[in-house]
Chains A and B, each alone.
Chain A
Amino acid sequence: MTPGGESEEHNRSHRDARARIAFDWLIPSDVREIEPIVEQVTKECRVLALSARQCALNVPVALTEALSNAILRGNRGIRDKHVRVRAMVSDSSLVLEVADEGAGFDLDACTVDPTSPGNIEREDGRGLFLMRSLMDRVERFDDDARNVVRLTLHRS
């Protein structure tokens, strides 16, 4: 192997170590799809040696919320509409992206404080709050006519 080849191989390996796509799935809008997807992601998190709490609480709950929102709100439960789920992993973090075919929403405006006395007995309104509490960063943006929610969790 030429020195140049070694260098290229080294650089590629280095890039792969920094960030790689762990999976990229397209699922129909059906809440029954959520549990198997979350199970797969959780397994991947264990392989990546994320902490026990991140594997058992942060990732499954936040991802379930993002998928649930995408399926029921973004795609309004229309099975023919799809949700794309991607995970990028690196030495320092896990990034999950959930994209639906909806119009998107204002993350700040839609996040309510479910712990306030007026909201504590509400049945709904905890999803975005939990996502933001359990992840290090939650972003929403439009990408190629898709509404994307990106969840970032740093290794603890």
Chain B
Amino acid sequence: MSFSIKKQGEICVVDVEGQLIVGNRQELKQKVLDELEKGEKKFLIDFSQTGYIDSSGLGVLVSLSKKIREQGGELRLANLNDDLKTLFELTKLDTLFQIADTRERALESF
């Protein structure tokens, strides 16, 4: 599992490779918060290479969403597979996040 952050224009694109679970969620949180502290405002988290997400991973996404919003920023999610979509629907987090089918659509939505 790993997280990589690349700048695409003024947008920070985060790729989640592997699982986002209790053992690594703090790493993702810290990486995004570091960018937020540097003044970055627009974030896209891409799940095209993600296996599964547990409740603590979902919790970190909720927490980041709040912190980014508080700083006047925006967060988009992209490329959830059908299983991950189900997870967001079960928890109704699909109503909290702006979710795009593809990375391109997410980038266009800012």
Point out residues on A near B: beta carbons under 8 Å. Answer: 31-32, 34-35, 53, 56-57, 60-61, 64-65, 68, 72, 114-115, 120-127, 129-130, 133-134
Pairs of residues from A and B, 6 with the lowest C-beta to C-beta distance, nearest first:
A126-B55, A123-B59, A57-B83, A115-B92, A127-B55, A31-B23
Q: Mark B52-92, 1 if CB is under 8 A from A, else 0.
A: 11111011101100100000000000000011001100111
Smallest CB gap from A126: residue in B: B55
Please name all residues of chain B whose beta carbon is closer than 8 Å to the beta carbon of A61 when the two chains form the complex.
52-54, 87
Q: B11 in the interface, Cβ–Cβ < 8 Å?
A: no
Smallest CB gap from A64: residue in B: B54
Q: Closest Cβ of chain B: how far from A71's Cβ, in Å? A: 8
| Contact between B59 and A35, CB atoms less than 8 A apart | no
Point out residues on B near A: beta carbons under 8 Å. Answer: 1, 19, 21-23, 51-56, 58-60, 62-63, 66, 82-83, 86-87, 90-93, 95-96
- The answer to whether A31 and B90 touch (CB under 8 A), given A61-B54, A65-B55, is no
Please name all residues of chain A whose beta carbon is closer than 8 Å to the beta carbon of B1 when the two chains form the complex.
35
Residue pairs across A and B with Cβ atoms less than 8 A apart, 9 shown, are A31-B23, A35-B23, A115-B91, A121-B62, A124-B55, A124-B59, A126-B91, A127-B55, A129-B91
Which one, A56, A121, A127, A129, contacts B96 given CB within 8 A?
A121
Please name all residues of chain B whose beta carbon is closer than 8 Å to the beta carbon of A57 when the two chains form the complex.
52, 83, 86-87
Which one, B21, B92, B93, contacts A64 given CB within 8 A?
B21
- The answer to whether A123 and B60 touch (CB under 8 A), given A56-B52, A57-B87, A60-B51, is yes
Please name all residues of chain A whose beta carbon is closer than 8 Å to the beta carbon of B66 when the two chains form the complex.
121
- The answer to whether A123 and B23 touch (CB under 8 A), given A68-B56, A130-B55, A130-B90, is no
Q: Closest Cβ of chain A: how far from B45's Cβ, in Å? A: 16
Smallest CB gap from A33: residue in B: B23
Please name all residues of chain A whose beta carbon is closer than 8 Å to the beta carbon of B58 when the two chains form the complex.
126
Please name all residues of chain B whose beta carbon is closer than 8 Å to the beta carbon of A121 when the two chains form the complex.
62, 66, 96
Smallest CB gap from A124: residue in B: B59
- A72 vs B21: C-alpha distance in the bound complex, in angstroms? 13
| Contact between A56 and B83, CB atoms less than 8 A apart | yes
- A116 vs B58: C-alpha distance in the bound complex, in angstroms? 16
Q: Closest Cβ of chain B: how far from A147's Cβ, in Å? A: 18
Which one, A34, A72, A123, A134, contacts B62 given CB within 8 A?
A123
- A35 vs B53: C-alpha distance in the bound complex, in angstroms? 11
Q: Closest Cβ of chain B: how far from A85's Cβ, in Å? A: 15
Q: Closest Cβ of chain B: how far from A41's Cβ, in Å? A: 12
